[in-house]
Amino acid sequence: MKSYKLILSLAFLVALLAFTPSLQDEVESYLIYSDYFKHGIPTGFMGEKDGKSMKIDINCKDKPYKGENCMKITTDNSEAWRGLHIQFTGSWNISLKEDQKLPDLTPYDKLEFYARAEETESGPYILPEIGVGGGGAPEVDKVNDTFLEIGSEWKKYSINIKGADLARVNTLLYMVLPTGTLYLDEIRFVKKLKK
């Protein structure tokens, strides 16, 4: 009877190890948004009227991907274009001092985020551009993805930033936004931990 219990215990342990991610699969992350802004502030508004066509709810309770809140961005057609920068300091790069402490994102491999959107009058929600860096800082690389089609269900998106010079980043995330409603959640930079 004891040997039977020992065999069952060993079988359970083997099964548990098989379904447990190895250290190789574990990741370290630098969070921008998860229920609230951990790093950065959505303060960089752009557009013909400085982003007046944009409404942002950072505590939206409408079916977040994870936790209690997600970020909801609603835009109307009162501007031909509009953009949003989530800035580490809460101000544009031009106002930064040379010795101002900014995050070094060069060790990270990807910018990851979850998104969903409401379909627009003209069809699917297409995000023209989303990325990291830039924002008037010539010494920092700008890495982006363009024309992402965002569906009505939550989906993970990632942008490869490996090898980019992101040693002093103020613009943690920027977006050029179409007219419509976009939801974002779990925005982070990630890197794999080595064994």
CA distance 148 to 125: 8
Residue type, 182: L
pTM given for the model: 0.82
Domains of the chain (ranges, CATH numbers): 26-192 (2.60.120.260)
Which one, of 75, 54, 71, 85, lies nearest residue 174 by Cα?
Answer: 85
Q: Which residues fall within 8 angstroms of residue 91, CB to CB, at 6 or more apart?
A: 43
pLDDT digits (tens, 9 = 90+) for 138-185: 667 889 999 999 999 999 999 999 999 898 899 999 999 999 999 999
